[in-house]
Chains A and B, each alone.
Chain A
Amino acid sequence: MSGIIDIKDLCFRYSQENEELDLSHIDLHVNEGEWLAVIGHNGSGKSTLAKAIDGLIAPEAGEIYIDGEKLTDQSLWNIRKKIGMVFQNPDNQFVGADVEGDVAFGLENQGIEREEMHARVKEALEVVGMQDFAQHEPVRLSGGQKQRVAIAGVLALRPKIVIFDESTSMLDPEGRMQIISLIRQLNKKEGFTVLSITHDIDEASLADRVIVVDDGKIIDDSLPQDLFQKGNQLIEIGLDVPYPQRLKGELAQRGIDLPQEYMDEGSLVNWLCRSILKN
Chain B
Amino acid sequence: MDKMLLGRYINGDSLIHRMDPRAKLFLSFYFIVIVFLCNNWQTYVLMAALVLLFIKLSDISLGFFIKGVRPLIWLILFTVLLQIFFSSGGNVYWQWGPFTVTDRGLLNAVFVFCRFVLIIFMSTLLTLTTTPIEISDGLESLLKPLTKIKVPVYEIALMLSIALRFVPTLMDETTKIMNAQRARGVNFGEGSLIKQIKSVIPLLIPLFVSSFNRAEDLATAMEARGYHGGEGRTKYRKQEWKQNDTIGVILFIVLTAALIFLRS
A and B touch in the complex (CB under 8 A): yes
CB within 8 Å for A111 and B217 given contacts A56-B223, A77-B226, A97-B133: no
Q: Are B225 and A97 closer than 8 Å at their CB atoms?
A: no
Residue of A nearest to B165 (CB): A97
A97's contact among B131, B220, B224, by CB below 8 Å, is which?
A: B131
**Distance in angstroms between the alpha carbons of A85 and B224 in the assembled complex:** 7
Q: Are B218 and A93 closer than 8 Å at their CB atoms?
A: yes
Q: Are B235 and A114 closer than 8 Å at their CB atoms?
A: yes
Q: Are B226 and A110 closer than 8 Å at their CB atoms?
A: yes
- What would be 19 A-B contacts, judged by CB atoms less than 8 Å apart? A51-B220, A77-B228, A80-B224, A80-B226, A85-B224, A92-B221, A93-B217, A93-B218, A95-B162, A95-B218, A97-B133, A98-B131, A101-B133, A105-B227, A106-B225, A108-B233, A113-B234, A114-B236, A137-B131
- B interface SS class: helix
Contacts of B227 in A (CB 8 A): 105, 109
* Minimum distance in angstroms from B149 CB to a CB of chain A: 24
* Minimum distance in angstroms from A241 CB to a CB of chain B: 31
Contacts of B95 in A (CB 8 A): none
**Distance in angstroms between the alpha carbons of A84 and B168 in the assembled complex:** 27
Count residues on chain B whose CB falls below 8 Å from chain A CBs: 30
B237: Cβ under 8 A from any A Cβ: yes
Q: Are A97 and B226 closer than 8 Å at their CB atoms?
A: no
Q: Which of B222-245 contact A (CB under 8 A)?
A: 222-228, 232-238
Residue of B133, B164, B214, B225 contacting most chain A CB atoms (<10 Å): B225
- A interface SS class: helix
**Distance in angstroms between the alpha carbons of A163 and B237 in the assembled complex:** 28
Contacts of B238 in A (CB 8 A): 114
Q: Which of A10-66 contact B (CB under 8 A)?
A: 51, 54, 56
Residue of B nearest to A100 (CB): B236
Residue of B nearest to A102 (CB): B165
* Minimum distance in angstroms from B83 CB to a CB of chain A: 40
B161: Cβ under 8 A from any A Cβ: yes
| 4 further interface pairs, Cβ-Cβ under 8 Å (given A108-B234, A111-B232) | A84-B225, A91-B214, A97-B136, A101-B237
B169: Cβ under 8 A from any A Cβ: yes
Q: Are B234 and A112 closer than 8 Å at their CB atoms?
A: yes
**Distance in angstroms between the alpha carbons of A111 and B168 in the assembled complex:** 29
Residue of A56, A104, A105 contacting most chain B CB atoms (<10 Å): A105
Contacts of B165 in A (CB 8 A): 94-97, 138
Residue of A nearest to B132 (CB): A97
A121: Cβ under 8 A from any B Cβ: yes
Q: Are A87 and B131 closer than 8 Å at their CB atoms?
A: no
Contacts of B221 in A (CB 8 A): 85, 87, 92-93, 95
**Distance in angstroms between the alpha carbons of A153 and B221 in the assembled complex:** 11
Residue of B nearest to A85 (CB): B224
* Minimum distance in angstroms from A94 CB to a CB of chain B: 7
Q: Mark B124-139, 1 if CB is under 8 A from A, else 0.
A: 0000000111001000
Q: Are A111 and B236 closer than 8 Å at their CB atoms?
A: no
Q: Are A56 and B234 closer than 8 Å at their CB atoms?
A: no
Across the A-B interface, the 7 shortest Cβ-Cβ residue pairs: A97-B133, A92-B217, A104-B236, A93-B221, A106-B225, A109-B226, A85-B224
Residue of A nearest to B237 (CB): A101
Contacts of B169 in A (CB 8 A): 91, 138-139
A109's contact among B136, B217, B233, by CB below 8 Å, is which?
A: B233
Residue of A nearest to B223 (CB): A56
Contacts of A96 in B (CB 8 A): 133, 165
Contacts of A89 in B (CB 8 A): 214, 217
**Distance in angstroms between the alpha carbons of A196 and B232 in the assembled complex:** 32
Q: Which of B200-224 contact A (CB under 8 A)?
A: 213-214, 217-218, 220-224
Residue of A nearest to B232 (CB): A111
**Distance in angstroms between the alpha carbons of A91 and B162 in the assembled complex:** 12
Contacts of A98 in B (CB 8 A): 131, 133
**Distance in angstroms between the alpha carbons of A109 and B224 in the assembled complex:** 11
* Minimum distance in angstroms from B153 CB to a CB of chain A: 16
A160: Cβ under 8 A from any B Cβ: no
**Distance in angstroms between the alpha carbons of A153 and B226 in the assembled complex:** 11
A139's contact among B168, B232, B235, by CB below 8 Å, is which?
A: B168
**Distance in angstroms between the alpha carbons of A83 and B132 in the assembled complex:** 31
A151: Cβ under 8 A from any B Cβ: no
Q: Are B226 and A81 closer than 8 Å at their CB atoms?
A: yes
**Distance in angstroms between the alpha carbons of A85 and B222 in the assembled complex:** 10
Q: Which of B36-53 contact A (CB under 8 A)?
A: none
B225's contact among A92, A109, A111, by CB below 8 Å, is which?
A: A109
